[in-house]
Amino acid sequence: MTQAVPHLVNRLVIDAEDSFDDVRRRYESLVPAIDFAELTEVVGTGDLAALQAYVAAHTPHSFAIYWTLDPMPVMRLSGHRLRAVTYMMGNNVIAETMFRHDPGTILYAPLRTAIHETASGPVRFSIDQPSTKFAGFGDPRIAEVGAQLDAKVAELLRLMALPVPPELITA
């Protein structure tokens, strides 16, 4: 059996008043890169409590960077000068709270973020709104975690001194 699951996702595009380097530096200081060798070692112990403690210690603002792609070396070959970088940002412990209900949620966890320059001037930070991605699974337990992720992303944006889109603000 195959199925198509239509769902609407909000892509949030936030203009920053700072330079590309400043936005990137602020983001990476708040969302540290995870050390995969260390993470693999902790997972290898088979101790869930140790994994939870490791993740908590390495996600001071709920998230860590699991992967970074700087496409600029390739893009410069075609003459592009505007910079961009993309990240996979997440939290293993939070992801598990959705995975337990539907392993397919791993399609969207970790979250993908991007920082890029524009020809018109502002640097932009972009992310798909988590609640709109996870609502597509049709499970209220997963949707609730998506809403919690919205709040965590809103807090991250505040810490980055970026505007918080109204879609992330819960009533």
Q: Considering the chain, what percentage of its residues have pLDDT values greater than 90?
A: 96
- Whole-model pTM: value is 0.95
Helix (H, G, I), strand (E, B) or coil at 146: helix
Q: Tokens 């998506």 — which residue?
A: 146
Q: What is the pLDDT of residue 170?
A: 72
For CA atoms 74, 91, 110, 18, give the dihedral sign: negative
Packing angle between helix 48-57 and helix 36-44, nearest 10 degrees?
A: 160
The DSSP bridge partners found for residue 171 are none
Q: How much is the pLDDT for 36?
A: 93
- pLDDT under 70: residue ranges of the chain: 171
- pLDDT value of position 171: 47
